[in-house]
């Protein structure tokens, strides 16, 4: 990744929908060269261009972090949980928990149902602790691109 690639990423972090006609001159390239550079970054999986949704505006107003203790392969448990739409992400960790799982549901009762009906029956799940969110204070998708 060179200075031009990093400049492209900085511009995309400001406006992910910037037209190539605007992007190219901002990074010192023609629009077509900027398109080719970005395509190379996407093809190499160095960058992924996605639309980020807000669960609150989509009718899912209850979010929680689940801390799981697992007997056995926590990767297998993470794989199983990842199949469910309520799961935003899973994180393999160490310490008091083996796995963190962020879930988004329509209401608190749906979180309880998800824990009891989906999480607890998974083979290897030893325990689950539920940490409901009151609000998201900081949520970043920006990485400092040097």
Of 59, 62, 55, 57, the C-alpha closest to 107 is: 62
CATH of the domain spanning 3-43, picked from 1.10.10.10, 3.40.50.2300, 3.40.50.1100, 3.40.50.20: 1.10.10.10
Of 63, 70, 86, 87, the C-alpha closest to 122 is: 70
Handedness of CA 84, 57, 11, 24 (dihedral sign): positive
The confidence score (pLDDT) of residue 141 equals 66
- Split the chain (146 residues) into runs of 10 and give each run's mean pLDDT: 90 89 96 95 87 68 93 96 94 96 93 97 97 80 65
Of 130, 124, 134, the C-alpha closest to 112 is: 130
- Judged by DSSP in three states, 107 sits in coil
**Exposure pattern of 108-140 as b/e (b: 16+ CB <10 Å)?**
eeebeebbeebbeebebbeebeeeeeeeeeeee
Residue span(s) of the chain under CATH 1.10.10.10 come to 3-43
Fold of the domain built from segment(s) 55-132:
Alpha-Beta Plaits (3.30.70)
The confidence score (pLDDT) of residue 15 equals 87
The confidence score (pLDDT) of residue 144 equals 67
The confidence score (pLDDT) of residue 145 equals 66
The confidence score (pLDDT) of residue 59 equals 67
Residue span(s) of the chain under CATH 3.30.70.920 come to 55-132
Token digits of residue 116: 């009891």
The confidence score (pLDDT) of residue 146 equals 64
């Amino acid at each position: 990744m060179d200075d031009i690639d990093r400049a492209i990423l900085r511009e995309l972090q400001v406006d992910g929908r910037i037209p190539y006609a605007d992007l190219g001159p901002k990074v010192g390239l023609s629009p077509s060269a900027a398109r080719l550079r970005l395509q190379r970054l996407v093809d190499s999986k160095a960058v992924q261009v996605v639309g980020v949704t807000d669960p609150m505006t989509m009718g899912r107003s209850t979010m929680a972090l689940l801390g799981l203790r697992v007997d056995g392969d926590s990767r297998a448990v993470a794989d199983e949980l990842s199949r469910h739409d309520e799961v935003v992400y899973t994180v393999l960790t160490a310490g008091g928990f083996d796995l963190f799982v962020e879930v988004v549901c329509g209401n608190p009762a749906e979180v309880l149902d998800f824990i009891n009906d989906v999480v607890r029956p998974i083979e290897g799940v030893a325990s689950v602790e539920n940490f409901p969110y009151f609000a998201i204070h900081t949520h970043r998708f920006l990485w400092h691109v040097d």
